[in-house]
Amino acid sequence: MTSTANYLWSQEDILGQGATANVYKARNKKTGELVAVKVFNLVSYNRPYEVQMREFEVLQLLNHVNIVKLFAVEEIISNPKQKILVMEYCSGGSLLNMLEQPEHAFGLPESEFLIVLHCVAHGMNHLRENSVVHRDIKPGNIMRQVGEDGRSVYKLADFGAARELEDDEKFVSIYGTEEYLHPDMYERAVLRSPQQKAYGVSVDLWSIGVTIYHMATGSLPFRPFGGPRKNKQMMHKITTEKPAGTIAGVQKEEDGPIEWRDKLPLSCQLSEGLKTQLVPVLANILLADDEKCWKFPQFFSATNDILNRITIYIFSLQQATTYSIYIQFHNTVSIFFEDVQAQTGIEPAAQQYLFQGHPLILDPSMKVVNIPHTSSDKPMILISRRLERIIGYPFEEPESPPMPGKFDVVADFVFTKTIVKVIHQYLRIAYSLQEYRQFILQGFNSYIEQTSSEVIDVAHRISKVKMKLHSSISTEKTLHVFTQTFAHEFPDFIDSKKKFPLIEAELQHMCGRGIREFQNILQYLRVTLSKHSETLANDKSIQKMEVLLSQIVDVHFQYFRDRQTRKLGYNDEQIHKFEKLNLSSYLKKFKSLFKDDCFQKYLDVLNTTDRCSRALYDMQTHLDKFRDTLLQRIQDLKAHEILQNKVLERVVHRAVQQPVKAEVVDGKKKEEHMILKMTRLKSEMEAVAWELQKNNNMIESLSVVTPTMPVEKKNPQTNRP
């Protein structure tokens, strides 16, 4: 055990090793509190005194939640001349440790990525406020603390290369890790170029850019064939000749061309919405030319813009894919509609939304902060009123390296280390495919019920029009008795009543081949979706893949122990070979489950998506036509009612003005009775006309009475952790 006045540690509890110091996990002698102590080695003391003191001085300047805290500077009891730094202990390891985990081999999840971006940006902002340049930013120097709520807090660490430097100042000494070095520093430090060049604070921006790309994708942005440490000249060529707008360059073959990339890869876990915001930032800080490269104020402005946006998650039902809309909280829904169109291609007029199974009515003037809270597993459902091309879940299968044919403990270990990462990526894709199946089935079930409500509403309107048509026909029969002698005086009236049989046939067609057929189709779709839902509920492919993954990981740990041993005995060698056969079997089973079970069931649901989309689109088109037709027929019946009233007035007028014959007393009484009856008939027709007008107003509005989600006021939620 080694100790100072207040702390002690074991040499075995090493947390990290560097060129000038080692870091250990230590404890406070009085409280037992865990801390990290940085113990400097002999190489460190060979540096000039002012350089040795620089890390102490820099850390004393800084005080921020995203920078590792310095608690004390103490001396080792057994060697009073040897000073140590007592610092905050970060139990979560480093960002590099996170990226080395197999599940993060293709980058961090979006939620964790945003936390790191927030912490690094705010930590760097504190450095610039205190005129400090770090000069060795990389995932290994970004520590992770796990809070009481389980959320990560990342902190900049290792200020051994840091110094005070104003924005317009330069330095000439070389520090840093070569994969993350600015190209100018790389040329001098790695390629040993003799020129003396001064460097500014932008060297930290380059390192930040490489780190951001690394944590987004799991890989370095600039990769020459054979790796950056084996092909140094090509590494420098890639970083210095990078075209404007690109963010990565990869050489896949020896002496082969460089593949320039201006997008983040499909394999990373970030949404297209975030990628769109992030790529311009990377393109403008990964520039070797200091004049063209962004300065820190621009970087801070851009990252804060991303972090201050709220994220609205949507699932485009007919396209069968998800989108994340990053939008400023003060924007209106009309801007949200435009952002949705930019990603989906669906025009605002064609956008409809469901949330938690109910239609969600969004007023274009409403603020987006009042949209109900969504998440990646509870998105809004976007329905297009037009036919859309199916996109589905975009993914690419990870490349699997060939299994070594010969017995070789080192090669076998390297293979299993890679294959575990590949299998984790397959499993992540499988999770997403299953989640998409769930979104599709839930979305279409809600869409079907909404369409069913519309069908019922249109059927109700048809019944109303039918009732009024029959009322008009009944009135027509009554009027016919009194209008035989002067019907020719109303040609429009005669033409109008000729439409009655056509209207009746039209309504009959709507009910028969329309409404009843729609209801049958909807029931068929319900049954189809129910079968898929049952299949999904009983699907155990994911669980089987998880078991196989654990078995593959066990083989990997066995091979790790074998590599440590190097030379195996006969029995251990036979076990090693048997495990290799088992590993081959596990991989075949896993990939078969993915392809023939998980992916095939996803394709089956996609085919149902296509059929459902077309059927419901056709139904919506017909329902719209039915509404238009019903509106027209109401207008026709209204016009005929006006003509009926005119005819009725003429009948009453003629009856009143007929000469009365005194000798025919009974006839006079009969005439008076007839006049009274016609007057009552007119009153009845006026009541009918009023009822028709009321229903006409209802149909003219063409509003579908459906339950809507209440939209409540809420505080803005940004992407800040």
What positions carry a catalytic annotation?
A: 136
**What are the distances in angstroms from CA 153 to CA 89, 109, 114, 149?**
12, 15, 11, 11
Phi, psi of 362 (to 5 degrees): -110, 115
**Which amino acid is located at 350 in the chain?**
A
Task: Give long-range contacts, CB 8 A cutoff, 24+ apart: 529-533.
Answer: 529/441, 529/444, 529/445, 529/448, 529/608, 529/612, 532/437, 532/441, 532/604, 532/605, 532/608, 533/441, 533/445
DSSP lists the bridge partners of residue 384 as 351
Name the DSSP letter for residue 289.
-
For every residue of 535-589, DSSP letters joined together read HHHT--HHHHHHHHHHHHHHHHHHHHHHHHH-S--HHHHHHHHHHHHHHHHHHHH
**Which amino acid is located at 328 in the chain?**
Q
Rounded Cα–Cα distance for residues 439 and 421 (Å): 27
Name the DSSP letter for residue 386.
S
Beta strands 142-146 and 309-316 are: unpaired
Angle at 193 between CA 188 and CA 199, to 5 degrees: 35
714 CB-side CA count, 13 A: 14
Query: Residue 65 corresponds to which tokens in the numbers above?
Result: 């939640």
Nearest by Cα to 203 from 287, 112, 114:
287
Name the DSSP letter for residue 402.
P
Q: Is 477 assigned a ligand-binding role in the annotation?
A: no
Binding site as annotated, residues for ATP: 38
